[in-house]
Every structure is written in C-alpha cells, then in structure tokens.
Amino acid sequence: MNENKTNINWYPGHMAKTKRLISENINLIDVVYEVVDARMPKSSKIIDIDNYIGNKRRILIMNKYDLCDKVETDKWIKYYESIGYVVVKTNLTEEKRLTYLVSKTKELMTDEFTKMEEKNMRATRKIRVLVVGVPNVGKSTLINRLVGRKIVNTGNKPGVTKNLDWIRVDKDIELLDSPGILWPKFDDDTAYNLASLTAIKEEVLPINQVINYILNTLYKLYPKKLEERYGITSYNDDLFVETLDIIGKKRGCLIKGGDIDYDKVFNVILNDIKNGYIKEITLDRYK
C-alpha cells in the first residue's frame, strides 16, 4: 500500500459544517447507519467517524453489494465484524435486505426500550438513526427505499445532499440524513479509489490519471473484465494512449475526421465503473 498522502484540495465548507452539526446533535441519536460502497469497503469508510459519533450503536451498511467482488468484500466484512461492527449488506434491489436492516435496527434497541418501558417512557418514542457516509455511496437512494418513496434527491455525483434533515421511515424509526463527509488528505490508493467511483468531484484529480489508475487496477485485479468490456488483453502506463484509441474506436468515441475524442473515452470508462456496467469488482484489498 502506498502510504504517501494526497491533498485533494477539496474539503467544502459544508463538510466541516456537517461534522459540527453531527457533534451537536449526536445526543439525540440512538443508532448510526454508516454507509460504505461495497466495492471500496476501506476507502469509502470515514476514517475519523468515531470522533463524531462516539460509542453510539452502529450498523455498517455495505451498499451496492450486488456490484462488488463478494470474495474480496466479504474479507472486509469479516474484519469489521471481528472488531465489533454489525454489518448489513444492501443491494437496494432486494426488499428483504432492507427489511433485515430495519429489523436489525430495532433489535439493537431492544434492551434500551425494555428499560424505558419499565419506567413507562416508551409510548411514542421513535428510534432516531443518523445516516452518514462519503459522497455518492447511495445514502439518499437507501433512504428513499426505506421510506418507500422519493423523499430526498439522488444523483450519481457527490454533493447532492446539503443539509441535515429528519425523515420518518415508519411509526418506529426516523432518520437524520446528512451530506457526504470526506477528510482533507488521503493515501494515494484511497484518493484514486474514491475518484474512480466518483465519491470526489471529477475535477479534483486529473481525469487522465484517474482513468490510467482504473485501467491499471482492472488489468492487475480483473484482467478478464478489461478484455470482456473493451477487448484489452495487455496494459501498462506506456499503452495508455493506444488503449484509449482501442476503446474509442470500439465505443464510437470519434470526432470529425475519425479522430478519437479522448474526453468521451474518459467518460465511457468512468461511467462503466460508477454505473456498475463493470461489476463484481472490489478496489480495496484486505492484507
């Protein structure tokens, strides 16, 4: 693992504000949903989350589990469970997974509510859940599915949610939605994993470097997927332009005169990754 730190120069004021508001409201919270992208179970986990939520009950939600390499992601799940996390896998396409998440949330509060009922305090008390995660891991989509209708905006780009908002799920649970949280500096692998899955804005890191990272990573970890999607059977940094030419011709990314439109090729590759057209991949490796 490359331990060099990359300053991505993108730490919007609303993120600092979000952390402050979480700290101010944390005493109201019973359970924390920490949402991560199952394709990057380390890179998308908030490194300093304990500073803001303390010892609150929490559920680590491995979102987009249907898009990950389950063998690799399950290694991370086993690790997180070994250090005390309750981990729930969600696809957002399987209702039973969301039902399990709700039941697990209520299960975590059983002892607390038993104590409250003994003191005649339970009557109208809802479970208050804080939802946190880095940008674009699917928090808003998860909330909409839990509620059963579109109640918060979604978008396949970071920075859609701007404020902390309370949302009622059912008679027993209400959620406090929060904007995506990042931190100012990452190791290089984390920065590029986040950029590859658009958890940080596309203009933060040079797009050609992000695309080169994606191609290198796919060739190293999933060469068959690179071949199946683009017909690429070999790759290294020296083959970058040649590879873009092959993909551009294959996908029709051409401009007048038949030249390759490299910006379109970049978008094709990035969209294939972030939209799950290239699936069953996990960018983080456990040891």
DSSP state of 90: E
Is CATH 3.40.50.300 correct for 7-177?
yes
The candidate with the shortest Cα–Cα distance to 62, out of 84, 49, 81, 83, is: 81
143-161: average pLDDT: 62
Token pair listed for 277: 């057209």
Q: CATH fold of 206-274, please?
A: Conserved Hypothetical Protein Ylqf; Chain: A; domain 2 (1.10.1580)
Q: What is the pLDDT of residue 126?
A: 86
The average confidence (pLDDT) of the chain is 86
Gap between the Cα atoms of 208 and 170, Å rounded: 46
The candidate with the shortest Cα–Cα distance to 138, out of 57, 241, 271, 39, is: 39
Q: What is the pLDDT of residue 155?
A: 45
Gap between the Cα atoms of 113 and 177, Å rounded: 23
Token pair listed for 282: 């996990």
Using CB atoms within 10 Å of the CB of residue 104, give its burial: 0 to 12 exposed, 13 to 18 middle, 19+ buried. middle
CB 131 within 8 A of CB 175: yes
Domain boundaries in the chain?
A: 7-177, 206-274
Convert the pLDDT of each residue in 87-145 to its tens digit: 999 986 777 778 889 899 989 988 877 777 666 665 567 899 999 999 889 888 888 88
Token pair listed for 50: 């304990």
Q: What is the pLDDT of residue 195?
A: 92
Count of CA atoms in the C-beta half-sphere (13 A) of 219: 17
Residue 209's Cα: distance from chain center in Å?
21
Gap between the Cα atoms of 236 and 232, Å rounded: 11
- CA-angle at 137, arms to 279 and 56, nearest 5°: 130
Q: Is the pLDDT of residue 244 over 60?
A: yes
268-278: average pLDDT: 94
Of 160 and 62, the structure prediction assigns the larger pLDDT to 62
- pLDDT band, very low/low/confident/very high, at 226 (cuts 50, 70, 90): very high
Q: Is the pLDDT of residue 173 over 70?
A: yes
- pLDDT band, very low/low/confident/very high, at 158 (cuts 50, 70, 90): very low
142 to each of 63, 73, 137, how far by Cα in Å?
Answer: 8, 19, 9
187-192: average pLDDT: 89
Residue entry with tokens 């092959």? 246
The candidate with the shortest Cα–Cα distance to 146, out of 67, 81, 88, 73, is: 88
Of 251 and 99, the structure prediction assigns the larger pLDDT to 251
Convert the pLDDT of each residue in 37-91 to its tens digit: 999 999 999 988 888 888 899 999 999 999 999 999 999 999 999 999 999 999 8
Token pair listed for 265: 């090729």
Q: What is the pLDDT of residue 67?
A: 95
Q: Is the pLDDT of residue 185 over 60?
A: yes
Gap between the Cα atoms of 162 and 110, Å rounded: 32
Of 96 and 146, the structure prediction assigns the larger pLDDT to 146
Percent of the chain with pLDDT over 70: 86
Of 187 and 279, the structure prediction assigns the larger pLDDT to 279
Q: 185 phi and psi, to 5 degrees? A: -130, 140
Q: Is the pLDDT of residue 273 over 50?
A: yes
Q: Is the pLDDT of residue 7 over 70?
A: no
